[in-house]
Structure 1
């Protein structure tokens, strides 16, 4: 019986098996450094957010404890109910039996294998050929959304990968029963919700509902054209809506609790400005289709050129009334609408989207590349089949034609290899471009590669008869066409250059080892550092907030997109990383002042940060081997006033000051305008002076009406900026260096304005060691005497709070 079924099944499904095997081969070839090497692609959010929380949760489950709450982040965190931890999602269950890094790696990699397979299955369901389905699967699975710059977090991609599978069962219900299709569609969408990224499964849900509605009013074929009010006709919409409702019930344990948190979080209301952050301009969206390595937001609009060409062919043929399948119109509309939506604030439609209650909660419109890449991939499948049906191939299989096709395939592989080699050369420092290959050269390589691939496909269409040889060569062309450019981009991003060795991911910083000496239940820490500050350092100097959970420390910091609004406000209106201020709010160190008791009441006994409580090390601009911060200090000291500034735990021998005066026209050359008091760590105080015309000068010194009457000269100019809108004069800032009498570590610097009527603006101050080449920018001194430095090395400090209170429950 089994043998006879196999004989019946194999001839019909052999081609599908080979196509799916090709997808598996493609996946393995795409990630060899991960599957066979010692590199992990779980940097970014996957490592700093998801991995620590899931490790804690599954350790609790292994020990027989329900992971409802953990004290390790945000002064207490509800693990089970927070959707992005995704405890109910099967691809996180690897934490039960795999090392944590590998469990997270499986979670991140799963979409690159499953999304092409599910897209292939859907395209086969709607009657497309195997090669067309293979093209659609690889184009979407390795397109600009699924292979975007932030896709290695796995958060978006795991929610999106189930969409084609839901669409498959919505489509199938036109031919099969609801009892067959609804449970399967529900399971697939429930997995999308359990994966935990609301924006992704809401976008997917809108697409699913639209598809069900479209199939109900415009059946795919005439065979499905029942009466408009018949039950059978509306089954696609019924399955679409019912599957989402049932999926919400399955995921209710995390879905509704996360909604409660969202209403109390900093995301409860989003302004239109925040909503439209991450919009593509029209020009950037077009360029991103062709050169995603240079033009992207956090995703790109990229699709393999061969997929774009066949999608255009579908559009052209549809316009010529080739409308045998109404689904193609749905995907044409989806592609157009999604492209407009990803332009965000650059189109009026964005304002309309902002009025929709659920959609208005999700920022970064560029993520509509999901619908764009899926729609165009499916249109490419239609275009492939319709083009192939119009082209008459040769009637005879000739060896020379096969050899020519093989030669073209080898040429395409060769071009792709050298293109990859050039793009993967070490890049010059740049904040967003991670290749040393000039964009113009990139386009030339792409043009040459695309011409060869197109010529190969056309050659196979025309010169080869329909045969296994033709199918094999066309399949090879599709694999090469969809592989090379995504491989180039991903290698320059998180697949190669920004991936890390396992040994690096398991390193523990000296500051964490220091803090582990204190009992965690009596000593909370505050990791006041930018989330990715130490991501690529050879040896981390400190851990980012969530990583402390891996080492047993209780932290009041943590990464959580739905951080509570009142908690954010208490820590100085901070954002999801619990450190960086929300947009529109200034840096705020008031929680370290004597009048603030926030950290005291939270039992925060230690703070870890970069020097001077900075969340990150300032980018330095060097002058005379002294590093000056690129960020303005912007402190103005009025007449008779003084300001205290931080010191340096490192021994220094000089102080660099960038400053300017205002209202100082009457101050004579060489007149002292300020005193500088430098307090050493041994309490010794050294005093220096700032003099008009020598160390500093009037900011508008070069303005014509000032220049004729001012009584002091220009000092050494550090930089000049336009003094007015017409740029009629230069606004100057002045640079001076003070050589200290002794080389010591500095406790504090104080500057007093002793002029009669001039204001002194302090723009940059740096303590430096001229012999060792060390520079330490200093800032306004805000912390109270209750904070004592117990560790200071390599620009990292650990401060102890002598006023911290015992831990207690605070009930609102």
Structure 2
């Protein structure tokens, strides 16, 4: 009992420690004195969080559709929204009444800090068991949590941070599951952790994590005793399948969305970017080449990683050709592989993975494999911290001297080939300071190694030294000069635009006209202001809709999307406009225009032209093509060959009224003497449904057509017609059903297994 209590106390003590260290590292954020700098965190993830909060407060807990970006966007299916991510949802639920943008920004930053603390704690659990000592877990946890990677751009790209932290927890739970295969709580924990990583919202990091987990499972199978092999196989099968079933409610809609998005087809040139080879120097000297140093785990960490490798070089020969999981060899091979992959097309390995390894041809930014590099280096350092006591005094002094000489020689090489040639991002004085401080930390680590023996006090000093090293390197990397309240003050342009749109909130058939923001304010501003824009910043968007922004005439784009207000750098537009306001900037001026005769958000046409997508783009761009009289349908929508012309009846006037009771819901009321085809300037996706139809003997069908390349189309009969357009994808219903049934089955199996025992 006493051993169990000491272990539990040790575990909770580590959680408190990492929470405290994370709070210290991000103290200015937690005190509300600073914020993360402008970027994806403030301009993408904050609007996402605000929109989800507004939907929850309205009682809509499955926010399907976001009308405020890209002319309409499938919010739930956008994986970065992470609608079902448990930790983010829990914090949102606890802070739901706080609706201010500044407060929401503060709590979102708190979420990032919590994730950094959990990253350290999860790594502690993993390396403590792997190395057999608490010292290794503490060192590895500090290095991983506060590495140049996890404190660099992942906090700003919150989805990366949310996903990455689960790797050490999954590996730890798998160690326990393979060593005690009949205890299904370990398998269940691993299943839930893996499912949570999938729900966290960054598929590329999840891919990296999955390859690491797969390699770990293979190593465990190769090194475990054959006893209970069937149970391990069953547990592994459950681990590989149930997380995808539990998270089907997210990935099924996301997969459906991806198939019609701009990421459905990408080439090697797009995805093969990675670190330049020279960026490897930032493993030793942070910030000398770029703002972020994602490969940096401190001078202390590098010295300890060398100790782990020294142990291998001087150890007894292995009896088995397969190294054990506790050996540094698999981690070293893993780290080197990840480092080579992080270079992308600049090294030989990524082209092989691109061609033969599933998933590696889908994502750009191969430098994000730095996540696995710092993970591997942190584990090696943790193993090295434990191996210290097994090294001879001569060996420890050799490592100490080697560490100091390596920093000195490295500084000389960098100066000779990079700094002296002006190829770094810092001046000579700054480089000398960075090299000098790195040398001080290496020398301090060497001093700890030099003395014989070891003690708890020296362990504490080692952990503190590693944290201090990383605090020096990364403390101010992501700190902006303002607190949340000031950061979220609306710019004059945004305030004026919101007032202009609100003044005409039902002027376009009952809806406001859309806005064309020509990069004058951040792209996702509409989600905060409730303004419907044609732009957005999500990396996923409809591929067909994106074609309207590729060498496409702006006036035709504005007509197709129902734009009424334009925020631009242009004082004069190429058509009639009313200049509402102008805002001088440091280098240019922003102008707010209103179009006096905006195109309607919906209209009825009397003729159909059947064309494929390429011809549709050309016709829509041609000012001679009359949008008000003719609509373009794809051959698969009309069941007719391209080039077919279909008259629907004589042209006539239609009275149209639109209402938006909810973001995913449009109520349509049309009165047309001759009928025709109604075009609605809302972006088409699979999942739009026609419901609650009221008309005389008409059949509108179950779903709208894809009209004018990427918008909604509904056939109308003569007379009065009312109906609802509702975005409710079948993939969400199916995914939710699979997730619920899987959860029930998992709970049932656990209950049965517990009763059986």
TM over 0.5: yes
Contact map agreement 1:434 1:493 (CA 8 A) in 2: no
Q: Aligned residue for 1:27? A: 22
Q: 1:797 aligned to 2:621?
A: no
Cα gap change, 1:499 to 1:173, in 2 (>3 Å) = farther
Q: Equivalent residue of 1:78, what SS? A: coil
Contact map agreement 1:299 1:369 (CA 8 A) in 2: no
Q: Which residues of 2 match residues 740-751 of structure 1 at below 5 A? A: none
Cα gap change, 1:502 to 1:295, in 2 (>3 Å) = same
Q: 1:58 aligned to 2:47?
A: no
Q: Aligned residue for 1:438? A: 430
* Among 169, 173, 184, the residue aligned to 2:173: 169
Structure holding more helix per residue: 2
CA shift, 1:200, in A, is 0.7
Q: Aligned residue for 1:136? A: 140
* Among 230, 241, 244, the residue aligned to 1:248: 244
CA shift, 1:512, in A, is 2.4
CA shift, 1:337, in A, is 0.8
Q: Which residues of 2 match residues 160-239 of structure 1 at below 5 A? A: 160-177=164-181, 179-217=184-222, 219=223, 224-226=224-226, 230-231=229-230, 235=233, 239=235
Contact map agreement 2:299 2:438 (CA 8 A) in 1: no
- Please list the CA deviations of residues 50-96 of structure 1 after superposition, one character each: whole Å capped at 9, or x if unmatched: 11122112211122123111211111122222211111112322233
Q: 1:501 aligned to 2:483?
A: yes
Q: Equivalent residue of 1:553, what SS? A: coil
- Please list the CA deviations of residues 511-559 of structure 1 after superposition, one character each: whole Å capped at 9, or x if unmatched: 2222323334322112211xxxxxxxxxxxx631212221221111111
Contact map agreement 1:186 1:247 (CA 8 A) in 2: yes
Aligned length: 551
Q: Which residues of 2 match residues 673-752 of structure 1 at below 5 A? A: none
Q: Aligned residue for 2:575? A: 785
- Cα distance in 2 between the residues matched to 1:350 and 1:102: 39
- Please list the CA deviations of residues 461-491 of structure 1 after superposition, one character each: whole Å capped at 9, or x if unmatched: x1x5x5xxx213321222222333x323433
- Cα distance in 1 between the residues matched to 2:424 and 2:542: 31
Cα gap change, 1:567 to 1:216, in 2 (>3 Å) = same
- Cα distance in 2 between the residues matched to 1:784 and 1:168: 62
Cα gap change, 1:296 to 1:259, in 2 (>3 Å) = farther
Q: Aligned residue for 2:92? A: 95
* Among 65, 72, 84, the residue aligned to 1:69: 65
Q: 1:269 aligned to 2:265?
A: yes
Q: Show structure 2 runs of 5+ residues with no match.
A: 99-103, 395-421, 506-510, 603-679, 682-704, 707-757
Q: Aligned residue for 1:773? A: none
- Higher relative CO (Cα under 8 Å, sequence separation at least 6) belongs to 2
- Cα-Cα RMSD: 2.8
- Cα distance in 2 between the residues matched to 1:298 and 1:146: 10
Q: Aligned residue for 1:78? A: 74
TM-score normalised by length of structure 1: 0.64
Q: Equivalent residue of 2:120, what SS? A: helix
Cα gap change, 1:543 to 1:379, in 2 (>3 Å) = same
- Cα distance in 2 between the residues matched to 1:488 and 1:313: 23
Contact map agreement 2:23 2:113 (CA 8 A) in 1: no
CA shift, 1:439, in A, is 1.6
- Please list the CA deviations of residues 121-180 of structure 1 after superposition, one character each: whole Å capped at 9, or x if unmatched: 011222421111111111111113212245333221110101111111211122213522
- Please list the CA deviations of residues 194-242 of structure 1 after superposition, one character each: whole Å capped at 9, or x if unmatched: 110000111101110111011112x1xxxx3327x9425x54xx64553
Q: Aligned residue for 1:378? A: 379
Contact map agreement 2:341 2:350 (CA 8 A) in 1: yes
Contact map agreement 1:289 1:301 (CA 8 A) in 2: yes
Contact map agreement 1:789 1:800 (CA 8 A) in 2: yes
- Cα distance in 2 between the residues matched to 1:125 and 1:317: 18
- Cα distance in 2 between the residues matched to 1:434 and 1:214: 43
Contact map agreement 2:30 2:110 (CA 8 A) in 1: no
Q: Show structure 1 runs of 5+ residues with no match.
A: 394-429, 530-541, 573-587, 613-648, 650-746, 748-782
TM-score normalised by length of structure 2: 0.68
Cα gap change, 1:491 to 1:314, in 2 (>3 Å) = closer
Q: Aligned residue for 2:114? A: 110
* Among 271, 290, 294, the residue aligned to 2:288: 294
Q: Aligned residue for 2:441? A: 449
* Among 288, 307, 316, the residue aligned to 2:310: 316
CA shift, 1:455, in A, is 0.6
- Cα distance in 2 between the residues matched to 1:345 and 1:274: 11
Q: Equivalent residue of 1:791, what SS? A: strand
- Cα distance in 2 between the residues matched to 1:508 and 1:49: 15
- Please list the CA deviations of residues 341-363 of structure 1 after superposition, one character each: whole Å capped at 9, or x if unmatched: 11211222121121134111111
Contact map agreement 1:600 1:803 (CA 8 A) in 2: no
Q: Aligned residue for 1:258? A: 254
- Cα distance in 2 between the residues matched to 1:240 and 1:230: 10
- Please list the CA deviations of residues 313-334 of structure 1 after superposition, one character each: whole Å capped at 9, or x if unmatched: 2223213344597112221210
Q: Which residues of 2 match residues 373-522 of structure 1 at below 5 A? A: 373-391=374-392, 438-459=430-451, 462=452, 470-484=455-469, 486-494=470-478, 496=479, 498=480, 500-517=482-499, 518=501, 519-520=504-505, 521-522=511-512
Q: 1:40 aligned to 2:35?
A: yes
Cα gap change, 1:432 to 1:260, in 2 (>3 Å) = farther
Cα gap change, 1:241 to 1:271, in 2 (>3 Å) = farther
CA shift, 1:441, in A, is 2.4
Contact map agreement 1:170 1:239 (CA 8 A) in 2: no
- Cα distance in 2 between the residues matched to 1:165 and 1:183: 12
Contact map agreement 1:512 1:548 (CA 8 A) in 2: no
Q: Aligned residue for 1:578? A: none
Q: Aligned residue for 1:403? A: none
* Among 550, 556, 567, the residue aligned to 1:608: 567
Q: Aligned residue for 2:415? A: none
